Structures are given as C-alpha cells and as structure tokens.
C-alpha cells in the first residue's frame, strides 16, 4: 500500500506561482512512477504531469507545458509540481497519484491516489 498526502495548494492571483508537494509512505518510493492530475468543478479528472522513478522521463499535458515542472526527491519520498504563470483555468483540485512501472497519462492505470489539494487562481 502507498499513502499519498498533497500540500501546497491555496489561492493565488493570475500570473503567480505555487509549488505543490506530495509526500509518499508505505512502499519504496523510488520504485514508483508519480503523476499529478487535476479536476475542476463539473469536469473530469485530467492528466497534468508525470515522472518516472528516476526522473528520466517526464510527461506534461499540452495545457501546462512551459509553465509547470514536475520533479521528485527520492531521499524525501516527495514529488513536486512547480506551477508558474498560473491562469484562472488552472483552478482545480490537484491530485497526486502513483503506480509501479512506467508513466502514463491515463488516470485509470494509477493505483494510488491522494486526497487532493485545492488551487484557486483569481483573475
């Protein structure tokens, strides 16, 4: 089992930045690929970014490329999402997810999920 706890969300003005963190426990973190997803009110949960266990492969949704950066620190069992140049359309609950094996953009292949952290971007 893997437990994931997100933090770092909150209100921010358009153009601002936030860094989300996801702390993992319960299984060797450096065997897991990690992903970030988000779900806006009334919409389906969508892929944001993902990273392999060693950081060798990074994936990003087109909507966040060039603005968001995913990274991880295996010594701290933590994955991060640095979000810059935030837009109102980035407003959503952001979820951390984990799986064994490679990274995918499909949420259904991720086995473990956190509870989410709210990000609200005002114009």
Can you read off the two tokens belonging to residue 31? Answer: 């065997």
Beta strands 10-13 and 117-122 are parallel
d(C-alpha 75, C-alpha 30), whole Å: 9
Residue 70: strand pairing partners: 81
- Closest of 113, 96, 86, 112 to residue 10, by C-alpha: 86
pLDDT digits (tens, 9 = 90+) for 6-21: 999 999 999 999 999 9
pLDDT digits (tens, 9 = 90+) for 36-76: 999 999 999 999 999 999 989 999 999 999 999 999 999 99
Can you read off the two tokens belonging to residue 17? Answer: 């930045």
Q: What is the number of helices (H) and of strands (E) in the chain?
A: 0, 11
pLDDT, mean of residues 27-32: 87
């Amino acid at each position: 089992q893997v437990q994931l706890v997100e933090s770092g969300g909150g209100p921010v003005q358009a153009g601002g930045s936030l860094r989300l963190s996801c702390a993992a426990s319960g299984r060797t973190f450096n065997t897991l690929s990690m992903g970030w997803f988000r779900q806006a009110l009334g919409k389906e949960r969508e892929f944001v970014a993902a990273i392999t266990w060693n950081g060798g492969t990074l994936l990003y949704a087109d909507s966040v490329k060039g603005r968001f950066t995913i990274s991880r620190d295996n010594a701290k069992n933590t994955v991060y999402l640095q979000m810059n140049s935030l837009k109102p359309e980035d407003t959503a609950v952001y979820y951390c997810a984990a799986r064994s094996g490679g990274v995918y953009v499909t949420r259904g292949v991720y086995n473990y999920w956190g509870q989410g952290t709210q990000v609200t971007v005002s114009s």
